Protein backbone atom coordinates (compact mmCIF):
# COMPACT_ATOMS: atom_id res chain seq x y z
CA UNK A 1 0.00 0.00 0.00
CA UNK A 2 1.17 3.52 -0.67
CA UNK A 3 2.16 5.40 2.46
CA UNK A 4 3.69 8.55 0.96
CA UNK A 5 1.76 9.66 -2.09
CA UNK A 6 4.02 12.66 -2.69
CA UNK A 7 7.03 10.39 -3.32
CA UNK A 8 5.24 7.15 -4.24
CA UNK A 9 6.69 5.22 -1.27
CA UNK A 10 5.05 1.97 -0.16
CA UNK A 11 4.94 0.16 3.16
CA UNK A 12 7.14 -2.55 1.65
CA UNK A 13 9.83 -0.01 0.78
CA UNK A 14 9.76 1.33 4.35
CA UNK A 15 9.98 -2.20 5.81
CA UNK A 16 12.93 -2.92 3.50
CA UNK A 17 14.69 0.27 4.62
CA UNK A 18 14.30 -0.83 8.24
CA UNK A 19 15.40 -4.43 7.69
CA UNK A 20 18.14 -3.89 5.11
CA UNK A 21 19.53 -0.46 5.93
CA UNK A 22 18.85 -0.24 9.66
CA UNK A 23 16.50 2.75 9.46
CA UNK A 24 15.08 3.27 12.94
CA UNK A 25 13.38 6.66 12.93
CA UNK A 26 11.70 9.23 10.71
CA UNK A 27 14.82 11.35 10.34
CA UNK A 28 16.70 8.43 8.78
CA UNK A 29 13.71 7.42 6.66
CA UNK A 30 13.25 10.97 5.39
CA UNK A 31 16.92 11.16 4.48
CA UNK A 32 16.85 7.83 2.66
CA UNK A 33 13.46 7.86 0.89
CA UNK A 34 12.15 11.40 1.25
CA UNK A 35 9.12 10.24 3.27
CA UNK A 36 7.49 13.11 5.15
CA UNK A 37 9.40 15.84 3.36
CA UNK A 38 6.45 17.28 1.41
CA UNK A 39 2.97 17.50 2.94
CA UNK A 40 3.72 15.41 6.07
CA UNK A 41 0.48 13.43 6.00
CA UNK A 42 2.37 10.14 5.92
CA UNK A 43 4.57 10.70 8.98
CA UNK A 44 2.39 8.92 11.56
CA UNK A 45 1.80 5.88 9.36
CA UNK A 46 5.46 5.67 8.35
CA UNK A 47 6.54 5.80 12.02
CA UNK A 48 4.05 3.05 12.86
CA UNK A 49 5.53 0.87 10.10
CA UNK A 50 9.06 1.48 11.38
CA UNK A 51 8.02 0.59 14.94
CA UNK A 52 6.04 -2.50 13.92
CA UNK A 53 8.85 -3.78 11.69
CA UNK A 54 11.43 -3.38 14.45
CA UNK A 55 9.19 -5.15 17.00
CA UNK A 56 8.22 -7.94 14.58
CA UNK A 57 11.85 -8.60 13.67
CA UNK A 58 12.99 -8.62 17.29
CA UNK A 59 10.33 -11.18 18.22
CA UNK A 60 11.99 -13.77 16.01
CA UNK A 61 15.58 -13.25 17.13
CA UNK A 62 17.07 -16.01 19.20
CA UNK A 63 18.05 -15.00 22.70
CA UNK A 64 21.38 -16.38 23.83
Please give the average per-residue pLDDT across 13-24, as a whole number.
96
Structurally, the chain folds into a number of domains equal to: 1
- pLDDT tens per residue, range 4-15: 999 999 999 999
Please give the average per-residue pLDDT across 52-57, as a whole number.
88
Please give the average per-residue pLDDT across 20-43, as a whole number.
96
Domain extent, residue 29, equals 2-59
Domain-embedded: residue 34: yes
SS3 at position 49: helix
Residue 35 pLDDT greater than 80, yes or no:
yes
Domain-embedded: residue 64: no
Domain-embedded: residue 42: yes
- What's the pLDDT at 60? 67
Tell me what percent of the residues of the chain surpass a pLDDT of 70.
Answer: 91
CATH number at 46 reads: 1.10.10.1100
Amino acid sequence: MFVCLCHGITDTQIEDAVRTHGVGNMRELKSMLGVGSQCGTCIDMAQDIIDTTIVDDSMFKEVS
